[in-house]
Amino acid sequence: MPLTLPRAILFDLDGTLADTAPDLAGAMNRVRAARGLAPTPYELLRPVASAGARGLIGASFGLKPEDEGFAELRTAFLDTYESAIAIDTRLFDGVERLLDEMQTRNIGWGIVTNKAARFTDLLVPKIGLGHAGCIVSGDTTPHSKPHPAPLLEAARRLGLPPEQCWYVGDDLRDVQAGRAAGMRTVAASWGYCGHVEPETWEADAIAASPLEVCDLIRTAS
């Protein structure tokens, strides 16, 4: 089914709008260094960056949330990340052009992330995204993605029916949340994408770059 022109596009943050993996991995490895451990290779940490502390601690220490020691590591990691949240984080190439294109076409936009507001509110203005039409963080609603509640809240804040919105994200949970909310979904294959190929997510479209999202807008009916 062809995409219909949206009145707003909602975006995931980590791995979709911004390349946050360098600072996330850096924080994780500073936690390791404080414990006298060698750094975890960046290529092991980058694919799990969208999964936040759970994914990074799993890749770096082999621990799950229910394991002993996980909670202590999570606190140390989050505090370390907060202290250096925007050192090497950058918008992905083409994001600014995409947002300009949307403004030209009077398409609104917002951010829906599983990142806690403690970090989202600190990071977003530092990387030039403070003009988002809405920002919904992982703890804004009682549920986080893949539950549709954060996306429905974003649509409410924009004053739009969910079906008039697209959701763009680089994780399977993003597509699951978007579909559950009744939105059209775009898999951002330029992002981290975890260990599951975007072709299997059943998104309405796959974009290999932010500029390909521009192309999807131009060809939408």
CB contact at 8 A, 5 and 25: no
Distance CA 165, CA 184 (A): 7
Distance CA 94, CA 62 (A): 35
Tell me which residue has tokens 């009077």: 106
Among residues 12, 23, 171, 204, the one annotated as catalytic is 12
- Bridge partners, residue 10, by sequence: 110, 167
Active site residue 12: yes
Distances (CA, A) of 15 to 94, 208, 221: 13, 12, 28
Nearest to 160 by CA among 179, 183, 143: 183
CB contact at 8 A, 195 and 58: no
Active site residue 14: yes
Among residues 14, 19, 23, 204, the one annotated as catalytic is 14
Q: Which residues are catalytic?
A: 12, 14
